[in-house]
């Protein structure tokens, strides 16, 4: 394997930690992985069920900060507990010996089968979230700087990291991951488990990359990624620099990792290759048939349907008409249309808003919502939007967004930079990345 070439592509061979089931009598693999911390942010019941499921067993739930708990005001003590548990797991033999290499994974969900991915580490020197930047690793959506400090607090000084970042490659012929799977499956999987809360299953196969080991799989990774990187300069209109990876999920987590690395560089400039320079991620192909883009809907609190309609009334050629039912509203929002449309729901009232504003729907919507200074949450899944908008205990208006097309994402980001924040989601909430693999962060 050409390590220098691999590093030039923003890839570093990770040292991966997995739980050692054989020496842990209380260990249950199905209780170890939990969903990304930024999911179900309005559903306490979900996270309480996860607590009950994992009670008494080693679990990644004890190593993360579910964002639903951020407003509770006890962040410092919760983060201290997380770091203490990380140390305890390392000391108590929860983890097997580190494995130097990559993991090829396959994920089944209730909606899709055999979504392929590759667990790797990426170089944060080759990533930047600022809108004007055009690095090798680019964010696809706007980053909210105010959301970074609490996430940086979790990572700062943590002995471990757990990835929920998904990086996309623009592999139109799907030439990398399926072929890599065939190579990886010559060995037994290092894990194969169901995922809790009816979220499907996941299996992973290890691809070793220890010093001196010849690996056709790793040479293949370098060859394919180098080809994608080289063609990116001429493939996208207005793009003059290599663009290999687009952040599909977890941009704020990756931006937080970048922030910690920048802090570390200033404090200890003599350690240019410290582990915190890198971040563990899952690489997926945007053209994988099992990857479907879903809109991220909005729920605006303490505002009724009329107030939200008024806030959006400055949209070009704005119109609003009542709709008889929730089912009809969902159907209208999903219909292909030459105009942008939004469904609004509150306390049993339904309406369809249409506008001639072009481009992705969030480009015209988000700036107007930001001007309201109202509390906004970003929701995956129509059912949750309807639940919150119909809740009698607190006034809220849900905003349904139309479907998102994944074709052309790389070209749009290359030409225009990041899309408005929370423009799309890769699949439904239960399809999100589950924490499973770990990596040592500070030595």
Cα 151 from chain centre? 14
In a domain, 422, yes or no: no
Q: In percent, how much of the chain has pLDDT > 90?
A: 77
Task: Provide the H-helix boundaries in 268-345.
Answer: 305-312, 326-334
In a domain, 426, yes or no: no
Residue 237 belongs to what domain range?
3-291+434-440
In a domain, 417, yes or no: no
pLDDT computed for residue 352 by the predictor: 96
348 with 398, same domain? yes
Overall average pLDDT of the 66-73 stretch: 92
For 19-49, write each residue's pLDDT tens digit.
987 666 668 999 999 999 999 998 999 999 9
Within 8 A by CB and 6+ apart from 294, the residues are 380, 381, 403, 404, 424, 425, 426, 427, 428
In a domain, 170, yes or no: yes
164 vs 192: CA distance, rounded Å: 18
116 with 60, same domain? yes
300 with 274, same domain? no
Within 8 A by CB and 6+ apart from 395, the residues are 301, 302, 303, 304, 346, 347
What CATH number has the domain bearing residue 375? Answer: 3.30.1760
285 with 366, same domain? no
256 vs 240: CA distance, rounded Å: 27
57 with 171, same domain? yes
In a domain, 424, yes or no: no
In a domain, 420, yes or no: no
For the chain, how many structural domains are there in total?
A: 2
32 with 155, same domain? yes
Strands, sheet with 376-379, edge to edge from the N-terminal-most edge strand: 319-322, 349-355, 340-346, 396-400, 297-301, 376-379
Q: What is the pTM of this model?
A: 0.87
In a domain, 273, yes or no: yes
pLDDT computed for residue 412 by the predictor: 84
284 with 300, same domain? no
328 with 266, same domain? no
Q: Is the pLDDT of residue 235 over 90?
A: no
287 with 157, same domain? yes
274 with 303, same domain? no
331 with 207, same domain? no
Look at strands 319-322 and 245-249 and give their pairing. Answer: unpaired
In a domain, 408, yes or no: no
For 365-420, write each residue's pLDDT tens digit.
999 999 998 999 999 889 999 999 999 999 999 999 998 878 778 988 888 889 88
353 with 205, same domain? no
For 120-135, write each residue's pLDDT tens digit.
999 999 999 998 899 9
Q: What is the dihedral of CA 305, 323, 362, 355, to 10 degrees?
A: -100
């Amino acid at each position: 394997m050409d390590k220098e070439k691999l590093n030039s592509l923003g890839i570093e061979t990770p040292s991966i930690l997995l739980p050692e089931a054989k020496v842990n009598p209380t260990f249950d693999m199905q209780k170890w992985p939990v969903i990304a911390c930024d999911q179900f942010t309005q559903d306490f019941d979900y996270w309480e069920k996860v607590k009950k499921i994992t009670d008494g067993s080693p679990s990644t739930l004890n190593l993360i900060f579910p964002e639903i708990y951020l407003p509770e005001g006890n962040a410092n003590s919760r983060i201290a507990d997380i770091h203490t548990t990380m140390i305890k797991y390392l000391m108590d033999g929860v983890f097997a010996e580190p494995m130097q290499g990559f993991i090829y994974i396959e994920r089944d969900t209730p909606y899709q089968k055999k979504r392929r991915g590759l667990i790797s580490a990426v170089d944060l020197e080759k990533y930047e979230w600022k809108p004007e930047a055009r690095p090798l690793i680019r964010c696809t959506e706007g980053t909210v700087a105010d959301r970074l400090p609490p996430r940086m607090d979790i990572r700062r000084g943590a002995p471990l990291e757990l990835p929920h970042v998904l990086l996309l490659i623009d592999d139109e012929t799907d030439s990398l991951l399926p072929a890599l799977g065939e190579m990886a499956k010559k060995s037994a999987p290092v894990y194969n488990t169901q995922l809790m809360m009816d979220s499907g299953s996941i299996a992973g196969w290890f691809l070793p990359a220890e010093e001196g080991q010849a690996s056709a799989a790793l040479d293949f990774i370098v060859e394919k990624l180098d080809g994608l990187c080289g063609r990116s300069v001429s493939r996208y209109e207005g793009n003059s620099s290599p663009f290999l990876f687009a952040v599909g999920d977890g941009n704020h987590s990756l931006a937080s990792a970048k922030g910690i690395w920048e802090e570390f560089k200033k404090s200890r400039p003599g350690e240019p290759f410290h582990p915190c320079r890198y971040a563990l991620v899952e690489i997926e192909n945007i053209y994988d048939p099992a990857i479907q883009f879903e809109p991220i809907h909005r729920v605006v609190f303490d505002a009724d349907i009329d107030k939200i309609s008024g806030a959006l009334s400055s949209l070009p050629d704005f119109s609003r008409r009542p709709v008889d039912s929730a089912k009809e509203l969902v159907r209208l929002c999903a219909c292909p249309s030459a105009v942008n449309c939004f469904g609004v729901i509150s306390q049993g009232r339904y309406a369809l808003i249409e506008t001639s504003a072009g481009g992705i729907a969030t480009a015209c919507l988000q700036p107007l919502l930001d001007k309201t200074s109202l509390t906004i949450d970003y929701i995956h899944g129509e059912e949750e939007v309807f639940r919150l908008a119909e809740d009698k205990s607190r006034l809220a208006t849900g905003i349904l967004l139309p479907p998102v097309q994944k074709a052309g994402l790389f070209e749009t980001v290359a030409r225009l930079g990041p899309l408005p924040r929370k423009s799309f989601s890769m699949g439904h909430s239960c399809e999100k990345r589950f924490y499973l693999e770990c990596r040592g962060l500070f030595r």
